[in-house]
Amino acid sequence: MGKKQRDCSTCGAPVGFLDRDLCCLCFRRLKEQAARATCPSCGLDRVLQEDTGRCVLCSRVCEECGHPVRSPQNRLCRDCRRRAERLASQQRCPRCGRAGYLREATGWCGSCSRPRQGKQPPRNCRECGQLRRHAGLGLCSACWQKHPGRPFIRGEHLRDQLPDPPAWLDDFVAHVAARHCVGRACGFVVDLGRLLQDEHSNSPQALIERSRRPGRSMGSFARALEDFFTLRGLALPTDQSERLAAGRRKRRVDTVPEPLRPAVVAFDDSRMRAQDRARRAGTRPRSDHTLETALATMRDLALFLMNHRGKTDWALVDVHDVEAFLVTLPKGRKRRLTVLRQFFRFARSQKMVLVDPTRTLTAKESNGFRGRTLTLDQQRELFRRWTTRPQVHPHEALLGMFALLHGASSSDIRLLQIADVNPLAQTVGLGKRPRPVPLDPASWAVLQRCLDHRDGWRTDNPHVMVTKGTKAGRSPASTAYLSHVLDDCGYPPRMIRSTRLVDLVNTMDPKLVAAAFGMTAESTLIYLADHIDDGRLPNP
């Protein structure tokens, strides 16, 4: 070092170079700091490597997993080195062909060297007697699946699993075991256990609501819970029918074109409020079918106005548009015109239209009966079909015979219950008739055949006509099922019933027929529309 020129600006040591302000130690320290940078891996100031962009320690990583390696002599981390050592010591097993540690005693891997538990030898099933593998309770698998005690065994297991089992658990297991097959009953018990073991409320009403499936069907498990709880008074029935009716109305309203839809929505809301007021007042509210039919009529009118008349506002509708719409379906003129009058009266009260276009329209049609009837030969053929042919379904024979001989409607047969049948007097209570109806031998035989068919379902449904869908519950058969029961005979139920009513009204006093059938006097007079009393004609 040369002669001291000045003191170091950092540490005060002598500086021997003319062009420097730092001593040799501070100058070297500053040069090293200038070469360093922050490492992106460890975050420390280090000299970064050109190939990796990280410091020396962070640049040494495992070739297998990428974890850091401290020693420069190793290419793998500790875990990868141990794994490689274990794999190197494994050999391929001559029995299973997989890599493993071979045992000296057997020469096989550990899985192959361990003794396996042998299967129990097949033995004779105590139910079917065949030599098969044992499944449980001395039964083979097929007999165990059909064993009637399975739901009760599953119920006992569920009771042991629950910390606080409900008091009605055993009754529910017996309820589903008596109404469903073994497999479905066990499935219901499993589903019930899933609901009882969650964090929600276990009250009967809450269980029913949580078991319901989204969509048009609430599910068989929810229906089983509803039937069980409502039968014992533990819960209220669900609003499934109201939900389905709301869905049907919504589908009809959504089909209405967008410019005409708000008025139809307001009309539907007003009729729903009127139905609720009538239900609370105890009067006769409009049925869901009536409301849906009205919405279907308004949907058809809206589509007709958009597609054929080019009108997008209800205020532009005139009497010619309504008349052209009614002409498209002449037989439904009276029914459609009634709905249109109700709608336009509502629209005029809400200031949607200024003039009611249906005010001057009339439905010119007589109130007399205009339906078709059966000839005497056709009636004889149907009577022989339902009394002598055993291949005919019992439901078809019951509905047909009661409509042909006793003038029973489809709703009367649909709602007929076991309690309405008197086996001693051989009478039945049909619909709103004030007195039980005595049955002839042919009708009684058809009824007994239908009851025998019902006994084969093993059901507790109180109705006489039980189907596959209603055997597990207490509801009557659906109206859609009743509308197709007589498809094989070729004649609808209304035509067969009308034949009987026309014959009775024209041969007897209509008032007596109305009193016997529980009808009004006006409803029976329509069958006298084209009747001529020969005794009142003048002599030629």
In tens, the pLDDT along 336-361 reads 999 999 999 999 999 999 999 999 88
Q: How far apart are CA 137 and CA 264, in angstroms?
A: 65
Q: How far apart are CA 267 and CA 298, in angstroms?
A: 10
Pair 77, 69: CB distance under 8 Å: yes
Pair 68, 59: CB distance under 8 Å: no
Q: What is the pLDDT of residue 2?
A: 62
Kindly state the tokens that stand for 254: 């959504």
Does the pLDDT of residue 447 top 90, yes or no?
Answer: yes
For residues 150 and 472, the model is more confident at 150
Q: How far apart are CA 342 and CA 476, in angstroms?
A: 33
Domain boundaries, the chain: 131-231, 240-349, 376-527
129-152 mean pLDDT:
86
Pair 319, 283: CB distance under 8 Å: no
CATH architecture of 376-527: Orthogonal Bundle (1.10)
Q: How far apart are CA 202 and CA 517, in angstroms?
A: 48
Does the pLDDT of residue 31 top 80, yes or no?
Answer: no
Q: What is the pLDDT of residue 296?
A: 96
Pair 245, 292: CB distance under 8 Å: yes
Pair 15, 3: CB distance under 8 Å: no
Pair 367, 360: CB distance under 8 Å: no
260-275 mean pLDDT:
95
Residues for the chain: how many in total? Answer: 540
Does the pLDDT of residue 1 top 60, yes or no?
Answer: no
Kindly state the tokens that stand for 262: 């708000």
DSSP state of 162: -
Pair 489, 400: CB distance under 8 Å: yes
- 3 state SS of 139: strand
In this prediction the pTM is 0.66
Long-range contacts made by residues 325-334, C-beta under 8 angstroms, separation at least 24?
A: 325/300, 325/301, 326/361, 328/304, 333/363, 333/365, 334/363, 334/365
For residue 83, count CB atoms less than 10 angstroms from its CB and return exposed for 0-12, middle for 13-18, buried for 19 or more.
Answer: middle
Residue closest to 420 by CA, chosen among 404, 409, 410, 431: 431
Q: What is the pLDDT of residue 86?
A: 81
Query: In this predicted structure, which of 57-66, 186-195, 397-406, 412-421 has the lowest mean pLDDT?
Result: 57-66
Band (155; pLDDT cuts 50, 70, 90): very high
Q: How far apart are CA 484 and CA 303, in angstroms?
A: 31
Q: What is the pLDDT of residue 49?
A: 75
Q: What is the pLDDT of residue 114?
A: 84
Q: What is the mean pLDDT of the chain?
A: 88
215-242 mean pLDDT:
90
Q: Which amino acid is at 293?
A: T
Band (150; pLDDT cuts 50, 70, 90): very high
For residues 255 and 457, the model is more confident at 255
413-424 mean pLDDT:
94
The set of residues, in sequence order, having a beta carbon less than 8 Å from that of 403 and lying 6+ positions away, is 409, 410, 413, 493, 496, 497, 500
Does the pLDDT of residue 365 top 70, yes or no?
Answer: no
Q: How far apart are CA 452 and CA 434, in angstroms?
A: 28
Band (5; pLDDT cuts 50, 70, 90): low
- pLDDT above 70 covers a percentage of the chain that reads 96
Band (298; pLDDT cuts 50, 70, 90): very high
Q: What is the pLDDT of residue 539?
A: 65
Q: What is the pLDDT of residue 533?
A: 61
512-540 mean pLDDT:
76
Q: What is the pLDDT of residue 531?
A: 58
The set of residues, in sequence order, having a beta carbon less than 8 Å from that of 473 and lying 6+ positions away, is 223, 224, 227, 461
Does the pLDDT of residue 406 top 90, yes or no?
Answer: yes
Does the pLDDT of residue 317 top 80, yes or no?
Answer: yes
483-507 residue pLDDT tens? 999 999 999 999 999 999 999 988 8
Q: What is the pLDDT of residue 99?
A: 86
Band (482; pLDDT cuts 50, 70, 90): very high
Q: What is the pLDDT of residue 53?
A: 72
Count CA atoms closer than 13 A to 231's CA, side-chain side: 17
502-521 mean pLDDT:
88
